[in-house]
Amino acid sequence: MTSALQKNRPDAAFSFDNSYVHLPQNFFSLQAPTQVAEPWLIKLNEPLAEELGLDLDILKRDGAAIFSGNLIPDGAEPLAMAYSGHQFGQFVPLLGDGRAILLGEVIDRNGERRDIQLKGAGQTPFSRRGDGRAALGPVLREYIVSEAMFALGIPATRALAAVLTGESVRREDILPGAVFTRVAASHIRVGTFQYLAATGDENGIKALADHVIERHYPALKAAENPYLALYEAVCDRQAALIARWLQVGFIHGVMNTDNMTISGETIDFGPCAFMDSYDPMTVFSSIDQHGRYAYANQPGIGQWNLARLGEALLPLIDTDKDKAIEHANAIIKAYGERFHSYWLQGMRGKIGLVSAEDGDLELIQALLALMQAQGADFTLTFRRLSAVAGDEAAEAVFASTFREPAATTEWLTRWRDRLSRNPQTPSDRAATMKQANPAFIPRNHRVEQAIEAAVEDGDFSLFEALLSVLSKPFEEQPPFAAYMDPPKPEERVLQTFCGT
């Protein structure tokens, strides 16, 4: 293990190029991580480190110290970001990074600016009564799910490293402490704009909007109204993102406005989960007592959250408030149409349709209704349908996904009739569908098994195996076929928990 309390080395593992720290001082609080007793590097995402242009030799030597916060790399300017948020519909004027510290920003090998942030790095001015620390379980969950989302092709923050601190944290039980290193296009949220709006800081809102345009949407600088164009672009990205969530059965679990990024990335994988049996009102989060953030509610909540962003941007959109509201309302109304278009396009792909016809929506809805009535597993249904597209002999396996296999006959007849008007060969169609329908997702019971082995026994082998399987979600992987299976009744995970 690496000893604690190391001083900065002259070696440069990171080439920082920080920008957020140069924004007005009320946007953040400068804050160094709190050092820990005996850090140990659980996992370093070497491919991501290389993509970020980091020095792997230094990270392999000093990674435990760097990613625990004991060793501050040269060029880092640690800070905790300030933001507000609507939490389950209730506005909280000041939240901020209560246990996360942004080390700085790097320019990756593709020329993209990326944040490097430590989660669980100790108290900040925004911690309120929290200890600023993270337990091992939530760190492993975020590592697993964020990397799974990346492999599925869904915009998400990434996992760079996980470190044990050698210290315990007190939650309901005494648990091993850990620090997670998160990489994001940025950590700017809807709640960041809300924070400035709540204080009446119109100059700050403009400075933040200009920063976001420069960083994420530079083409908008030439727009007639860059701030209205920014609002439209953020709404579009979120519509596309949430459509992708629904297409893989993902339930975020805590879609507060402080958990919605301006960049369009999925962020914060606390009580998130992937659905097993299809039910549009599925909820896993232990804190979502009334199903506000249920699977089917996510598009509407996304629209509600984006309306809050629009409110914050009104002074920039037009000096005439009525005109600003009119412009913003037009965009937030169009969000629903954009979401539906993205969702329908993706669902067509999942059932093998390469052209559009008027009856496609009803055909998709009929399958979903059948899945719900028959308790069919979401992921397996679509994966097995992919096989049927290439070989009719696979129909029996597909039908076995449903409680009453014969119930699928009518729908399959309609589906085949619809496919007859598509110009693909069966083998090409099956191959295309398999790229839209993963074989492997982070099944809740598998994630919990990996966490339990690590927390209870210090055994990270299940964690490593799960990461390996999930890195290739669209491949068959016969040695790991059991990872495709839904949970047995005794393995079902009915609730997931926030990691704070």
Please report the DSSP string for 361-384 in residue order.
HHHHHHHHHHHHHHT-BHHHHHHH
Residue 341: strand, helix, or coil: helix
Mean pLDDT of 415-442: 96
265 touches 184 (CB < 8 A): yes
> Average of pLDDT values for 70-94?
97
Q: How far, rounded to the nearest angstrom, does the alpha carbon of residue 315 sit from its chain's CA centroid?
A: 30
| Structure token digits, residue 360 | 């496609």
pLDDT in tens, 201-248: 999 999 999 999 999 999 999 999 999 999 999 999 999 999 999 999
- With bands split at pLDDT 50, 70 and 90, how would you rate the model's confidence at 7? very low
Q: Is the pLDDT of residue 8 over 60?
A: no
Which residue, 67, 63, 70, is CA-closest to 37?
A: 70
pLDDT at residue 5 tops 60: no
Tokens encoding 410: 């009518």
Give the tokens for residue 170.
């007190």
pLDDT in tens, 43-53: 999 999 999 99
Q: Per-residue pLDDT for 180 more than 80?
A: yes
Q: How many residues does the chain have?
A: 500
Q: 299-320, pLDDT tens digit by residue?
A: 999 999 999 999 999 999 999 9
Select from 474, 477, 402, 485 the least CA-distant residue to 439.
474
Look up residue 220 and give its amino acid.
Answer: L
Q: Which residue has the tokens 């597993």?
A: 377
pLDDT single digits (tens) 147-178: 999 999 999 999 999 999 999 999 888 999 99
- Yes or no: say if 192 and 81 are a contact pair by the CB < 8 Å rule: yes
Q: Identify the burial level of 456 via C-beta atoms within 10 angstroms of its C-beta, where 0-12 means exposed, 13-18 middle and 19 or more buried.
A: exposed
pLDDT at 475 over 50: yes
- The mean pLDDT of 13-42, rounded to a whole number, is 97
Spell out the domain ranges in the chain.
20-187, 201-349, 353-434, 444-491
**4: pLDDT strictly greater than 90:** no
Dist CA 1 CA 62 (whole Å): 10
The CA distance from 55 to 402, in Å, is 51
Provide the CA 404 distance to its chain's centre, in angstroms.
Answer: 35
Give the pLDDT score at 1.
Answer: 37
Report the alpha-carbon distance of residue 85 to residue 358 in Å, rounded. 40
The predicted structure's pLDDT at residue 289: 86
Mean pLDDT of the region 317-339:
98
Q: What DSSP line would sit under 118-133, residue for residue?
A: EESB---TT-TTS-SB
In this prediction, residue 495 carries a pLDDT of 82
64 CB-near residues (< 8 Å, 6+ apart): 1, 2, 39, 40, 41, 70, 163
- The pTM of the whole model exceeds 0.85: yes
| Structure tokens belonging to residue 21 | 């720290």
Within 8 A by CB and 6+ apart from 301, the residues are 255, 292, 293
Spatial CB neighbours of 178, under 8 Å, sequence gap ≥ 6: 42, 120, 134, 135, 136, 139, 140, 162, 163, 164, 165
In contact, 25 and 71? CB cutoff 8 Å: no
71-100 mean pLDDT: 97
For tokens 């006959």, what's the residue? Answer: 409
| 261 secondary structure, DSSP code | B
At 6 the pLDDT is: 45
- List the catalytic residues: 258
Q: Show the beta-strand stretches assigned E in 215-319.
A: 250-251, 273-274
Q: Are the C-beta atoms of 126 and 94 separated by less than 8 Å?
A: yes
CA separation for the pair 318, 225 (Å, rounded): 9
Residue 368, both tokens: 């979903």
pLDDT given for residue 269 in this prediction: 94
Q: Which residues pair with 135 in a beta bridge?
A: 177
68 sits in the region (left: phi over 0; alpha: psi -120 to 50; else beta) called alpha
> Residue 136's pLDDT band (boundaries 50, 70, 90)?
very high
Segment 92-101 mean pLDDT: 97
Give me the pLDDT at residue 493, please.
87
Helix axes 426-434, 378-390, angle to 10 degrees: 160
SS (H, E, C) 435-446: CCCCCCCCCHHH
For the segment 407-411, the average pLDDT, to the nearest whole number, is: 98
Average pLDDT in the chain: 95
